[in-house]
Structure 1
Amino acid sequence: MGKTLGYARISSDQGQDITSQKAMLESLGAVVVFADVGNGSKLTGRDQLEAVLRLLEPGDTLLALHPDRLARDTGDLLTIAKRVIEKKAVLRINDPAIIMDGSDIMAEVMLTVFGLVGMLEKHFIRARQRRGIEARKLKNDGGYKGRPATISPDAVRDLRAEGLGATQIAKRLGIGRASVYRLLAA
């Protein structure tokens, strides 16, 4: 009998806490819990998910509390399941109870359905966000300011004053060259 590895994810660390997910996964038998903080709409950049998938061995179980903790896209969810099964391991989701080992077509159907639900939920979240932005813009009171700036224009100008070129500034600040040019032109 293999080991059970847990996977937890929260969308952001602002106002969310992964502790309860970890505790629940451990109570369900996970010996180690891998956790990512970030958007669930993409698989890229989820280092802990990649790590747990690499560590799976035949007979192991990957445990997640809900399908949307793994992915909010049907294709991504099925890709994860396929990778687990290729390792001769089992994907187990707690709620709803889905155990996928490649032998039960109904488990794959359920996973597909919940992947579709996740995609639908993602669509509704984005639609509500767009409506909120449009409503705020219609108020025209200056309340909508967009996403806050993450790059300091002063830092870009200071580095330029030191004689650094756009590529060097971009590398030093970890941003794209286009952002450097945009800030220098402003």
Structure 2
Amino acid sequence: MKIGYARVSTVGQDLATQEEMLKKAGCKKVFVEKITGASKIHREKLLEAIEFMDAGDTLVVTKIDRLARSIIDLNNLVQDLNAKEISVQFIKDNMEFMAGEDSNSIQTLLFNILGSFAQFERDLIVERTTEGRERAKQQGKHMGRPSQPQKNVERALELYKQRGTNGMSVNDIAKLTSVPRSTIYAEIKK
């Protein structure tokens, strides 16, 4: 049986194209998730797909970089799956690693080159993001959520203390004062 795995890194990216390709490739079930591909750790849907599969099944992925962005994780994943007699197919990269069969040297070379490019691309993204964050800090820009004016926080805490008489929930207080619930709770702990 063919089982599909689709992944995007951010919420704004679309999984529909990958899902469509996997269904056209004959996948009976498709596991999807929105999470970074830097490591297989915490990729629950990938782990679910692997647990779901039996010997003789094929894991189908649209591209190598959708399965892993680390050359080590990529090689380990494919080797582990093949050891469980599960084949791995990459649609766009036109590659398949059949369980129980040795891949030819050209296929192994191409696989490792494409995997290295995926890792290189991931490393560039991290490097650029870090540089941008550092540049913004040097320019005095605040990173993260904007801080709340102290008077709003004080008002929120006052309303929180009066909950017994005003009947307001923390959600009501957050909406009224524009202070996030997490900030209210953090201030209460202090």
Could you report, residue by residue, the CA deviation over 1:77-96 in whole angstroms, capped at 9, with x for unpaired residues? 01110121012121000121
TM superposition shift of 1:51: 1.1
Give the aligned partner of residue 5 of structure 2. Answer: 7
CA distance in 2, matches of 1:24, 1:70: 15
- What does residue 173 of structure 1 align with? none
Q: Does 1:104 align with 2:103?
A: yes
TM-score, normalised relative to structure 2 = 0.73
Superposition deviation, residue 136 in structure 1: 2.8
1:98–1:110 contact (8 Å) kept in structure 2? no
Length-normalised TM-score, structure 1: 0.74
Aligned to 1:18: 15
SS in 2 for 1:8: strand
Given that 2:68 and 2:74 are in contact with CA atoms closer than 8 Å, whether structure 1 keeps it comes out as yes
Question: Percent sequence identity over matched residues?
Answer: 24
Whether the 8 Å CA contact 1:56–1:87 is kept in 2: the answer is: no
Q: 2: distance between equivalents of 1:60 and 1:152? A: 46
Residue identity in the other structure for 1:156 = A
One-letter code aligned to 2:30: V
Q: Report the aligned-residue RMSD.
A: 2.1
- Structure 1 unmatched runs, 5+: 161-183
- The residue aligned with 1:71 is 68
Question: Match of 2:78, SS?
Answer: helix
Q: Could you tell me how far 1:9 is from its partner in structure 2? A: 0.3
Partner of 1:178: none
Q: CA deviation at 1:151?
A: 8.3
Inter-partner Cα distance in structure 2 for 1:147 and 1:139: 15
In structure 2, what is the Cα distance between the partners aligned to 1:148 and 1:27?
Answer: 42
**Matched residue, 2:57:** 60
State the partner residue of 1:154: 184
Shift of 1:138: 4.2
SS in 2 for 1:155: helix
**Does the residue aligned with 2:73 lie in a helix, a strand or coil?**
helix
Which amino acid is 1:48 matched to?
K
Which residue is equivalent to 1:126? Answer: 126
Aligned residues: 154
What are the Cα deviations for residues 106-131 of structure 1, in whole angstroms up to 9, with x where unaligned? Answer: 33332222221111111111222123
Judge conservation of contact 1:43–1:76 (CA < 8 Å) in 2: yes
| Unpaired runs of at least 5, structure 2 | 147-179
* 1:113/1:148 CA distance change after superposition, 3 Å: farther
Q: Which residue of 1 aligns with 2:44?
A: 47
1:119-164 alpha-carbon deviations (Å, 9 max, x no partner): 1111111222123223333444x3xx22348982321233x3xxxx
1:115 aligns with 2:115: yes
